[in-house]
Amino acid sequence: MTQTNPATPIDWRSQPHEIVERDGVRYTLLGTAHVSQASVEAVRDAIAGGGFDAVAVELDAQRLQSLSDPDALAKLDLVQVIRNGRVALFAANLALAAYQRRLAEQLGIEPGAELKRAVLDARERELPVHLIDREVGLTFKRASKKLGFFGKAKLMAGLAIGLFASDEVGEDEIEKLKQGDMLEASFSEFAGDNPALYETVITERDRYMAARLRETAGDAREVLAVVGAGHLAGLARHLAEETAAPATLRESLEHVHAKRSIPWFTLALLTVILAGIGVGFWRGGFEMGAGLIGLWALYTGGLAGLGCLLAGSHPLSILTAIVVAPFKPFRLSIPTGAFAALVETHMRKPAYGDFLSLRDDAQTLRGWYRNRVTRVVLTFLLTNLGSSLGTWLAGFRIFGKLAE
């Protein structure tokens, strides 16, 4: 793909843009393509013109740190990620980072380079910089809440496949990036045929960024907002027409329904299984009851250990998974994988180099097993998968025995 010569002067007014005036503030929305050198030069031209007294960008703090600090992942506290239940989200962010790396290698430009340039040039001129996009983690969480079980499974499978893909990014995805939205391109296979996902990934963020622009304007009278071209129309419309107070609207779009403190489905499933074991003691005495408990331990512990083994985990991590999994009824809110992952982190403590090479290692299956950080993630995910499968199979086997 031919890149625009960086030395070629570009008038930012020749690029897609919208101008909205509201409450005494003139907002200039500059639409960019996240894989275009022309967009980088347009941003430089707009800020160099000196006509703006504040700059807003389609970024959140985490994405800006990722763009600005290549060593950001090396500062990660992996133990806290596990304890706070953020391993799945961390894995999704790794998938996004691997996707961006593939794009950079294929197209010769870092995705989001124009957003990074906007921040750097604004700071050089001592202009206020406002990050107006919603945190990626919140978008993931709100999107997953709108998907059913199979939708979530499809999304996770797609992320996993995209994570290890070695082929070039398709032309359709590149075109979406030219139109300007990284998350839409990343989820292109899902967002197009899932209205709920599209609503969360694109439309909600238009409203969110419009609210953030109004909320952060302050004393500025000329604000430049650098956003993906795909957001221009929706952002301009919401910026001009939205009547809700910006802080209230932002809070509503950040809200994620709290996970129920009592996992009723899991509790009901385990209650039924334990009741079955109780029936076994009542009908067949100690021998039959003990046999059913043995089945429970065999399937839950065995499959959790197998999942941990498939992750290439340390023997003590595997042993932890085998021992902890059968006690699921007594720790409903803590997954088996968390225990195994914490042991794995202790036994094979990730080194500084593991964090530095995360972006590269996350692109290949071999890299995931070689890198100690990603192997902890695999330990968590595969142990939980084995434990869940073991719970269901144990239930079927127990009631099969009772039916004999």
b vs e for 19-36, b when ≥16 Cβ sit within 10 Å of the residue's Cβ?
ebeeeebebbbbbbbbbb
Q: Residue 11 burial (CB < 10 Å; 0-12/13-18/19+)?
A: exposed
Among 220, 254, 288, residue at a domain's last position:
254
Among 254, 289, 314, which residue terminates a domain? 254
Question: Across the chain, what does the average pLDDT equal?
Answer: 80
Same domain, 198 and 282: no
CB 183 within 8 A of CB 139: yes
Say how many Å lie between the first and final Cα of the chain, rounded: 67
pLDDT tier at 292, thresholds 50, 70, 90: confident
% residues pLDDT > 70 (the chain): 75
pLDDT computed for residue 154 by the predictor: 62
- What is the average per-residue pLDDT within 162-172? 54
Contact indicator for 259, 85 with CB cutoff of 8 Å = no
* pLDDT digits 0-9 by tens, 339-358: 999 999 999 988 877 877 87
pLDDT attached to residue 402: 75
Query: What sign results for the dihedral spanned by CA atoms 379, 381, 386, 387?
Result: positive
Residues 115, 167, single domain; the answer is: yes
In a domain, 46, yes or no: yes
What is the sign, positive or negative, of the torsion defined by CA atoms of 396, 398, 400, 403? Answer: negative
Asked if residue 3 is part of any domain, the answer here is no
Same domain, 222 and 296: no
Mean pLDDT to the nearest integer, 6-30: 86
What is the pLDDT at residue 54? 95
Q: Note the pLDDT tens digit of each residue in 246-281.
A: 999 999 998 877 665 556 666 776 777 878 788 878
| DSSP-derived secondary structure letter, 4 | P
User: Does residue 173 sit in the same domain as residue 43?
Assistant: yes
Residue 172 has φ and ψ, to the nearest 5°, of: -60, -45
pTM assigned to the model? 0.69
342 shares a domain with 218 = no
pLDDT for res 46: 94
pLDDT at 9: 67
Residue 3: which pLDDT band, with cuts at 50, 70 and 90? Answer: very low
Q: How confident is the model at residue 328 (pLDDT cuts 50, 70, 90)?
A: confident
User: pLDDT higher for 5 or 337?
Assistant: 337
7 lies in some domain: no
Q: How many helices (H) and strands (E) does the chain have?
A: 21, 5
What are φ and ψ of residue 14, in 5° steps?
-80, -10
227 shares a domain with 178: yes
Looking at the structure, do residues 269 and 250 belong to the same domain, yes or no?
no
pLDDT at 206 over 50: yes
pLDDT for the residue numbered 333: 72
Tell me whether residue 374 is in a domain.
yes
Per-residue pLDDT at 36 exceeds 90: no
The mean pLDDT of 202-206, rounded to a whole number, is 84
Taking alpha carbons only, the member of 17, 330, 197, 155 closest to residue 205 is 197
Tell whether 280 is covered by a domain: yes
d(CA 265, CA 274): 14
* C-alpha dist (Å) from residue 404 to 283, 295, 394, 398: 12, 15, 15, 10
Q: 221 and 342, same structural domain?
A: no
Same domain assignment for residues 315 and 250: no
Residues 289, 249: one domain? no
User: What is the domain count for the chain?
Assistant: 2
Give dist(CA 286, CA 220) in Å, integer. Answer: 77
pLDDT at 4: 43
Q: For residue 349, is it within any domain? A: yes
Q: Which domain holds residue 165?
A: 12-254
Highest mean pLDDT among 111-120, 137-146, 159-168, 325-334: 111-120
Domain boundary among 222, 254, 286: 254
For residue 54, list its beta bridge partners.
223
Candidate from 74-88, 98-112, 156-170, 246-260 with smallest mean pLDDT:
156-170
6 found inside a domain: no
How many beta carbons lie within 10 A of that of residue 264, not counting itself?
8
Tens digit of each residue's pLDDT (9 = 90 or more) over 117-139: 999 999 999 999 999 999 877 87
Q: Are residues 239 and 298 in the same domain?
A: no
**4 part of a folded domain:** no
Q: What is the rounded average pLDDT of the residues 384-397?
A: 89
Residues 316 and 366 in one domain: yes
Q: Is residue 225 scored above 90 in pLDDT?
A: yes
Q: Which of 296, 314, 307 is nearest to 372 (CA)?
A: 314
Beta bridge partners, 55, equal 129, 224
